[in-house]
Structure 1
Amino acid sequence: MVESESTEGIEALIEEHILPKLDPDFLAYFASTQARLKAAQPQPQPTVPNPPIEHVRAHPEAYRSPCAVDASGYAGVSNLISPSRDLGVTIPVRVYHPDPMKHGAGPYPVHLNFHGGGFVLGDLTTEAALCLSMREAGVAVVDVDYRLCPETTWGKCIQDGWDVLKWVRESATALRINPASISIGGVSAGGHISLVLQHMARDAGIPLKLCMASVTPATAGLSYKYYTDSPFPSFHEFHRGPVLPWERIKYFGRLCMPPETLPALRKMWPDWWFAPLHAPDWSNLCDTFIRTAEVDPLRDEGEAYALKLVAGGNKVTVKRYLGCPHTFMYIDAMKRKHEYDRDAIAALRAAHGLC
C-alpha cells in the first residue's frame, strides 16, 4: 500500500506484487501523469494503448519520450547526414560536440547513441537530453536516426547503425573526432542494436572502447507468441508492469516481426541479430557496461548477456537500478535518472582515458 498523498489512487493501476518494488520518485511521477490525464479528459474515454501506426505517425508529439527535446539549435550541435548502403537512402544524425572552453578544441573521442522505442518509435529528439548529458564527459556524441518499422524492414536499423559507424571513422577530420577512440550505446531497442554492432565491430577488426547498453532486449522477445515463451523470471514477474507491459511488447512485435513475415526475415539476417544472447562467438569483445532496471521485464535478459560476456573472458560492468521500470532514464523527476546520467559520464570518461 502506498501511503503518500501524492500517490493516492494508483493502487488500482499497478499490480499488488509490483507496487512495493517501485521507486517512490517513479510512483509520484506516475500519479501526477495519471492526474493530468484525468484532468484533460474528465469523462471516461476509451483507451487505445497501442494505436494504429498511422495515428502515431500523424501525431508524433503524443508519443515522444518525457525527456524529448529539439536540440538542433543548441551550441555545439549540428545536423548531418550519413550515407547508407541502400540506393537513395541517407541516415540523419545529430552531432553533439563538447564545450571547447571545458574540453579543448578536439579531436574528441566519440560515442554513437542509438535511441529506444521498440524499433518503431523515436527520432533525434527522443534522447537529446541524454546526449547533451553524455557530451559533458568530453566526448562528441553522434545520435543516429536509424530507420523504423513497419515502414522499413526490421534489420535495416542494424545496417544503418553499421553504416554510421563506418562513416564516423571515415569522416574523423570533418567531425573533429578521434577514430581510434569510439564507443557505442543505446537504450532498449537502441541497446539491442549496440550489442549486435559490438560483435560486428570485433569481426571487422574495428576497435571499440566501450559498449554501453541499457534495459536491453537480448532475446527474440518481439517474436514470442505469449509472454510465457520467455525463459526469464523478470519477463513473467513484470509482464503487466506500468512500463513496457507484455501488451506493449506484442504491439512492437506485430509491427517489427509480423508472424506472416517472420520466416522471410529469418532468411534475411543472421539468427543472432534477433537474439544477441545467442551470438556464436563471445571472445575478444570490447569492454561493456550493462545497465538494467529492477522492475523491468527485460532485466534478466540484459544480465544474462553480461554473464555470457564474463564467460567469454571480457571485461564487464553491470549495474541494476533498484526500484526502476523500463526507460526510467527518460524521467527527469527521478533521482535514479540523474544517477544514470552521472554513471554514463563516468563510464565514458574512463573508457576514453579522460579521467
Structure 2
Amino acid sequence: MSTLESSLAGHAVSKPGASQPTNEGLDLIEDHIVPQLDPIFLEYFKSVIAKKPPAHEIPIEHVRAHPEDFRPPCALDTSVGYERVADHVVSSQDGASIPVRVYHPDPARYGPGPYPVHLNFHGGGFVLGDLHAEASLCLSMREAGVAVIDVDYRHCPEAVWGKCIQDGWAALNWVRDSHATININPTSVSLGGVSAGGHISIVLQHMARDAGIPLKLCMPSVPPSTDGLTFEFYTQSPFPSFHEFRRGPVLPWKRIQYFGQQCFPRDRIPELRKLWPDWWLAPIRATNWKGLCDTYVRTAQCDPLRDEGEAYAMKLIAGGAKVTVKRYMGCPHTFMYLDVLKQKHEYDADAVDALKVAHGVQEIPR
C-alpha cells in the first residue's frame, strides 16, 4: 500500500476528536471537478502540487536553468546502471542532432532479436521534457518484448514549433535505415506519446501513411488534436471538456496559455502558420482519413484535452481504421506519471498488452 493510500485508509476510520483531513489546496480546483477526481490524486494534489508555485508563473529562463525541478514524478536517469540501454544520435532534416535512447528487451524472455520497435515521444507542451522525463515508462514498455526508442525532439521557444515533427519524422526514418545497427525489425514499427508527444505521433501517423511506411500501431495518450496553443480565449475550443476543466488541477487554461506563449507568440502566429501544413497544428483537420494504421487512444476523465482526443479517434473510425479508445476515470491530464495511482499501473499494463498484440510478440516458453 502506498503512503497516500495508507493516509486515506487512516482518514476512513478516524474517530471523533481525531485529526481530520483538510481540504486546504482544493480551493485551486473548481468545486464541480473535485468529486470527479480519484481521492488518492486529491491527496497527492494537496500534499505536493498545491504547495508549489503555479507553473504558469515560472519564467522559462528559470525552468531552463533548473530542469531537474520541472521533470515529472516518473522521471528517471537511465543513462548509466541499466542493462540494454544505449544512447544514439539522429540527424534531423536541417542537420540538427537529436538524442535518442534505445531500450532493448530481455533476450532471455524474447530471444536475440531483431525486435519489434516502438518510438516514444514525451509530453511537456512542446516546451518541457528530455530523456529522463519518461524513462520509467520506456522501461515498462520494453517488457512487451519490443525495443523502445525515446526521442528527445527539439523544444520551443529555442526551436520554432514544427521542428518537433521534423525530428520525429527523422527518428522514424532512422529506425528504418539503421535497423541492423540497433537490432530491430524495420517491418514491425509502432509509435506513440503522451500529450504533446501524442500530438507528434498522430501527425506522424498520417505522414507514414502518405509515405507508404507501414505502422503496426499508433498509441497516443491524452493527445491534443486541435491548435489550442494558438487560442486567445478558451472559449475558442468547440469541445466541452476544454471548458469544463479549464480550472482543473494539472493542465488548467493558464498553463495551456503558458505553453502557447512559448510555442506560438501572438505576434508570430500568422507567420508560424505559414511554415507548416494546417493539419500539423490541428491533426483533427487532416483531409485524408483513409488507410491509417490501428490506433489505441487513451484519455483521462478530468482533462481539458479529453474530448478532442476522443474526437480524433472518431475521425479514424469513420475513415475505416481499427481503433480502441479507453478513458481512465477519476484522472487528470498526466495521471500516467503518478505512481500512487492505480490507474497509472493499469495504464502501464495496457501499453504492454497493446504492444504485444500489435507486434505479435510471444515470450520464449520456460
- TM-score, normalised to structure 1, is 0.94
1:108-257 matches, within 5 Å, as 108-257=115-264
d(CA) in 2 for partners of 1:298, 1:26: 18
d(CA) in 1 for partners of 2:345, 2:225: 25
Per-residue CA shift, 1:185-206, capped at 9, x if unaligned? Answer: 0000000000000000000000
Match of 1:42 in 2: none
d(CA) in 2 for partners of 1:156, 1:148: 8
Q: Does 1:309 align with 2:324?
A: no
Q: Is the 8 A contact 2:205 2:292 kept in 1?
A: yes
Q: Is the 8 A contact 2:56 2:258 kept in 1?
A: no
d(CA) in 1 for partners of 2:333, 2:143: 24
The offset of 1:266, in angstroms, is 1.2
Residue identity over aligned pairs, in percent, reads 67
**Amino acid in the other structure paired with 1:81:** V
Per-residue CA shift, 1:201-226, capped at 9, x if unaligned? Answer: 00000000000000000001000010
d(CA) in 2 for partners of 1:116, 1:270: 22
Q: Does 1:23 align with 2:38?
A: yes
Q: Is the 8 A contact 1:290 1:317 kept in 2?
A: yes
1:258-337 matches, within 5 Å, as 258-337=265-344
The offset of 1:232, in angstroms, is 0.3
Match of 1:84 in 2: 92
Q: Is the 8 A contact 2:119 2:150 kept in 1?
A: yes
Distance 1:120 1:249, change over 3 A: same
The offset of 1:267, in angstroms, is 1.0
d(CA) in 1 for partners of 2:117, 2:26: 44
The offset of 1:114, in angstroms, is 0.1
The offset of 1:9, in angstroms, is 2.3
1:75 to 57, 62, 83: 83
1:341 to 340, 348, 358: 348
Q: Secondary structure at 1:295's aligned position in 2?
A: coil
1:9 to 14, 21, 24: 24
Per-residue CA shift, 1:141-196, capped at 9, x if unaligned? Answer: 00000000000000000000000100110001111000000000000000000000
The alignment covers a number of residue pairs equal to: 345
d(CA) in 2 for partners of 1:106, 1:271: 40
Match of 1:93 in 2: 100
Match of 1:41 in 2: none
Match of 1:103 in 2: 110
d(CA) in 1 for partners of 2:280, 2:49: 37
**Amino acid in the other structure paired with 2:83:** A
Q: Is the 8 A contact 1:6 1:31 kept in 2?
A: no
**Amino acid in the other structure paired with 1:79:** D
**Amino acid in the other structure paired with 1:18:** I
Q: Is the 8 A contact 2:300 2:329 kept in 1?
A: yes
Per-residue CA shift, 1:35-82, capped at 9, x if unaligned? Answer: 8x48xxxxxxx7664321111100111111111010112111001111
d(CA) in 2 for partners of 1:219, 1:142: 26
d(CA) in 1 for partners of 2:58, 2:32: 28
**Runs (4+) off by over 6 Å:** none
The offset of 1:265, in angstroms, is 1.1
d(CA) in 2 for partners of 1:59, 1:124: 15
- TM-score, normalised to structure 2, is 0.92
**Which one is further off, 52-61 or 290-299?**
52-61
